[in-house]
Chain A
Amino acid sequence: MCHQTVSLAARYLEEQGIPTVIMGCAKDIVEYAGVPRFLFSDFPLGNPTGRPHDPESQAITLELALRVLETAPGPRTTMQNPLIWSDNPDWKLDFSNVARLSPEEIARRRAEFDRNKELARGVREQSQAAK
């Protein structure tokens, strides 16, 4: 939901007059929502600002975001970070790909998901009760 949240926030801020740039790794979610400026890094979710333990890639990524912010000619400007995660693109086949999961693994994940939803509901109810 992060990419959607940030996309909605960027849209809202721009409507109020604040220019924005999004840094993120989920191209389809951000572009489907429709945002003004977006630096897309084709990395696994969790690395929107560069590769881990690679300060040079982080510096390149931030500089690109700043350039997108200052030079975008109009809305829906997406730039793709030229850096890649790995020479082998096979990592892209794994994320939430049911075609790659066994029936046992699907059952295990279903149980885990139920448990986490309960936990999140508890936190939300506490948070609302505290208002």
Chain B
Amino acid sequence: MTDRPDGADQAPDHDVPIPYRERISTYYQTLGYGAPYRWAHYAEVPFTPLKKPLAKSRIGLVTTAAPYQPDKGDQGPGAAYNGAAKFYKVYSGDIATDHDLRISHIGYDRAHTTATDSNSWFPLPLLREVAKSGRFGELSPRFHGAPTNRSQRVTLEQDCPELYARLAEDKVDAAVLVAV
């Protein structure tokens, strides 16, 4: 017997971060897709401290969102999953201009959100404002788009080095990576 005082301050049992790996594995196995996906899993985690205060740092932005391509079908808001809208190479964009980035190529939660406000996944306009406030030194002149690939090898051997090369060229002091 557990001696838990079940008052209104206790959270419901299912009010926990969604166990996505388990959900997704069960989902695809039920749909008939062979061996379960093996997610990236490392014991060792690298860590680089900031070299200077944030107020003097140049910040880079990395996103997994995709530029809107009018010839690639419905990309939302509210579009069904659209594999045609995926991209397979790192891309970069000028932070001084506005960009129409979409997430229809991603398995986001279509039951509970409809992708009507890109500020909930692409914080470029807000980052520009915050940079002006002096909270950090400056925004790097380019943001970068990271392709989402089922193959960890492709991500590690092709996309990560390319992202690093571009961020190094931009001389960023730190990077904000947004996973849609």
**Interface residues of chain A: helix, strand, loop or mixed (majority):** helix
User: Are A2 and B179 in contact (CB-based, < 8 A)?
Assistant: yes
Contact of B96 with A by CB under 8 A = no
Number of interface residues of B (CB under 8 A): 91
Which residues in B have their C-beta under 8 angstroms from that of A127? Answer: 88-89
Chain B: CB-nearest residue to A74: B47
Q: How far is the CA of A116 from the CA of B156 in the complex (A)?
A: 24
| Chain A residues within CB distance 8 Å of chain B | 1-30, 32-36, 40, 42-55, 58-59, 62-63, 65-66, 69-70, 72, 74-76, 85, 89-98, 106, 109-110, 112-113, 116-117, 119-120, 122-124, 127-128
A-B contact list, 19 entries, CB within 8 Å? A20-B175, A45-B108, A46-B115, A46-B120, A49-B120, A49-B122, A49-B126, A53-B116, A58-B119, A58-B123, A69-B50, A70-B50, A92-B14, A95-B18, A96-B20, A116-B83, A119-B84, A120-B83, A123-B84
Contact of B30 with A by CB under 8 A = yes
Q: Which of B73-132 contact A (CB under 8 A)?
A: 80-84, 86, 88-89, 103, 106-109, 111-117, 119-123, 126-127, 130
Q: How far is the CA of A116 from the CA of B20 in the complex (A)?
A: 21
Q: How far is the CA of A72 from the CA of B50 in the complex (A)?
A: 10
Q: How far is the CA of A84 from the CA of B49 in the complex (A)?
A: 30
User: Are A95 and B111 in contact (CB-based, < 8 A)?
Assistant: yes
User: Are B48 and A36 in contact (CB-based, < 8 A)?
Assistant: yes
User: Are B179 and A16 in contact (CB-based, < 8 A)?
Assistant: no
User: Are A16 and B45 in contact (CB-based, < 8 A)?
Assistant: no
Q: A50-B120, A65-B176, A85-B112 are known contacts; what are 20 more A-B pairs with Cβ within 8 Å?
A: A1-B107, A5-B146, A18-B168, A22-B178, A28-B21, A43-B113, A44-B112, A45-B108, A48-B179, A49-B121, A50-B119, A52-B115, A52-B116, A53-B116, A54-B120, A58-B120, A89-B11, A92-B16, A119-B83, A128-B88
Within the complex, which residue of B48, B135, B179 is in contact with A3, where a contact is CB–CB below 8 Å?
B179
Within the complex, which residue of B26, B44, B108 is in contact with A46, where a contact is CB–CB below 8 Å?
B108
